[in-house]
Amino acid sequence: MSYRRGALIVLEGVDRAGKTTQCMKLVQALQQSGRPAEMIRFPDRTTKIGQLISAYLEKKHNLEDHTVHLLFSANRWELEPMIRQKLEQGISLVVDRYAFSGVAFTSAKPGFSLEWCMSPDVGLPRPDLVLFLELNPAVAAQRGEFGAERYETSEFQKAVMQRFQQLMKDPSLNWQVIDAAKSIEDVHAEIKTHSEEAAEAAQHQPIAELWK
Ligand code: NYM
């Protein structure tokens, strides 16, 4: 049976690495090459759970650390049926952050193991490609607006970066590290090449489950 599903492509990185700009450019490029594609982002601040998360990030509301971790995960699970449906309809999804941000940010807090942080996201659709936009946290801090939301300090971002590096050792995922200090167009060209390859390979494979 021929199977032509869309690809699940995730962009990750520390804050201010340019993920959102690159997601938008990638969606446009995929569409122009004739592949239906849409962008989604996590947290999705539009849902009820997303509004709680947003108030927490904007420091308008405090939440206990385990609680907010589980809310970030719940915010992915509430969109899981839509993600699966779109992929099965042949639409590729470009995702601005996913479970890897969830694990990297919470496990950068004292007392949280990677294993505990990963468990609520086990079984989500597994990305076909995870692009990690690598940028020195000190350079990221100079890119403006840094410090407005929770977690936006160079010290915390350094701890987040170390957690991402641990997650990247997982051979069950297709991680590609991109140097985000390059120009927007150079970064885009690299991302596009990896994404087209991953989309070609994904179309004949069933959707796998993350960390299973
Ligand atoms: N974040 C994001 C988490 O702590 N856990 C998660 O699961 C996700 C998806 O929220 N600092 C953090 C990372 C960012 C912030 O920022 C979301 P933005 O600018 O909306 O990507």
pLDDT digits (tens, 9 = 90+) for 53-73: 999 999 999 999 999 999 999
Q: Which of 105, 135, 160 to mutate to test the pocket of ligand 1 (most atoms within 8 A of CB)?
A: 105
How many whole angstroms separate alpha carbon 15 and alpha carbon 205? 32
Question: Does position 1 have pLDDT exceeding 60, yes or no?
Answer: no
How many whole angstroms separate alpha carbon 84 and alpha carbon 143? 35
Q: What pLDDT does residue 141 have?
A: 77
Confirm whether the ipTM is greater than 0.85.
yes
Average pLDDT of the segment spanning 28-52: 98
C-beta separation of 193 from 141 below 8 A: no
Question: Does position 189 have pLDDT exceeding 70, yes or no?
Answer: yes
Query: Does residue 171 have a cis bond before it (omega within 30 degrees)?
Result: no
Where do the DSSP E strands lie in the chain? 8-13, 37-41, 92-96, 129-134, 175-179
pTM of the model: 0.97
Residue 163: CB within 6 Å of ligand 1? no
Q: What pLDDT does residue 137 have?
A: 74
Q: What pLDDT does residue 153 have?
A: 87
Residue 151: CB within 6 Å of ligand 1? yes
Residue 164: CB within 6 Å of ligand 1? no
How many whole angstroms separate alpha carbon 95 and alpha carbon 171? 20
What is the pLDDT confidence band of residue 2, given thresholds at 50, 70 and 90? Answer: low
What is the pLDDT confidence band of residue 44, given thresholds at 50, 70 and 90? Answer: very high
How many whole angstroms separate alpha carbon 197 and alpha carbon 212? 23
Counting other chains too, the contacts that 71-76 makes at CB distance below 8 Å and 24 or more residues apart are 72/42, 72/43, 72/102, 72/106, 73/99, 73/102, 73/120, 73/121, 74/49, 74/120, 75/42, 75/43, 75/44, 75/47, 75/49, 75/50, 76/42, 76/102, 76/121, 76/124
